[in-house]
Chain A
Amino acid sequence: MREKHPQTEIAPYLRGDLSAAERDRLASHLARCDRCRADADAYAAVLKTIAADAARIPAPDWRAYRAELHRKLAARRNLVPGVPSRSWNQRLRWASIGTAVAAAAVLLFLTILPHSQPGAPSVDQMAMEDAMGGADIGLLRNYPVVEHLDLLENYDVIEHLDEVAPTDTSDENPS
């Protein structure tokens, strides 16, 4: 059976953060696994670099730090000293109300939005279509003429259909 690489235990091993039994088991694994040993060496180097870097974090001017903190605290208090102003809970409550209102607005917008799509014409669109439909009635009155002209796709002709005089068919049918 293939042995599992105990990689998540390497860092605790390096830092002495394992129980005696765990430590022995890992040491035994490292003795025969080149891959985990290489990882352990690399992790040790990284941990050393982090520790060296941390030592160089400069301390702030603590007097100024605390003065600034007290200013921030004072700004959060009400005018009555010793009484904290809005607690985080209150702030969270207002933030929740704000979020709920925003969500409701978005829902309302999303509900209204589909009605403004081409599939569902607005009132203005419908009125315009009615007007255009009325304009077509004149055309329909002369439909027999159009039918004979066989020019339904010639929009110039259709547009000026009312100007076309009825044709005299007597010449065509000498009887």
Chain B
Amino acid sequence: MGSSGLLTSLIDGILIGVVYGLAAMGLTLIWGVMNVINLSHGTIIAFGMFGVYLIFTTLGLNPYLTLVLVAILGLLLGVAIYFIAIQRVIDAPHLSTLLATFAVNMILLGVGTAVFTTNFRNVDYALGNIQMGQITVLGTRLVAALAAVFVAGALYFFLYKTRPGKYIRAVANNRAAAELMGIPSTQILALSFGIGTMLAAIAGGLIATLFPFTILSGGVYELKSFVIGVLGGLGNPIGSLAGGLILGLLESIIPIVMPNTWVPILEFVLFIIILLIRPTGIFGAKE
């Protein structure tokens, strides 16, 4: 492989990595605010994929426009999940919230499989190639990465510059103290969960424009999100972007030196090592 081939796969890795980062952002936001590992994350990503797919194929809207609609639906779904399944067990031991979100996952996946079956779908939409010297970049990948960066920026602005965002950070920091300051913690927790699922749905929608998918595809991205979340620091949504970049680069570089099938081994070994050495993640805060 020549240097241009290496550069092409590096750039591909970066572009995909940013989208991975967006997928993990929702998981890590929910973890950071309420210490809940959302095991329905993968299926919500898959719902995002199917949301874009359905609107694109039936209404013929531009897939990037449909993302707005998918985002709103994702937010509403998340708020509903919070009030139905999470609120009652939010202070219970970890096993309860893990199983509650897993139960939600089963419900959603059951409905999804019954409606969509497990056949492969793809969003048939192309933006051509972008040629820079000897390097070729797929248009959809570039746009997906830009959209992911834009959403991450918007999240940053929301969390740090707006009042509800500051409430979310206050609740994440210390829920009891935030309540004493008059912050309505239940609504803020519901909003955080909603934003978390919204981010997952948007990421799913973007991934749908890149690769073919089934209703079960979310599981792969959920596992990737765990790895990224740990890389970037669980509870640090912006760190996810950096974690995603690392993962994307690893996935593009490792196949050059060893067989492709070794990628998941290295990913998960890295995941275990980081959890053992520094459970708050490379970019995470000190405990």
- Chains A and B come from one and the same complex: no
Listed in ascending order, the chain B residues whose CB lies under 8 Å from chain A are none
Listed in ascending order, the chain A residues whose CB lies under 8 Å from chain B are none
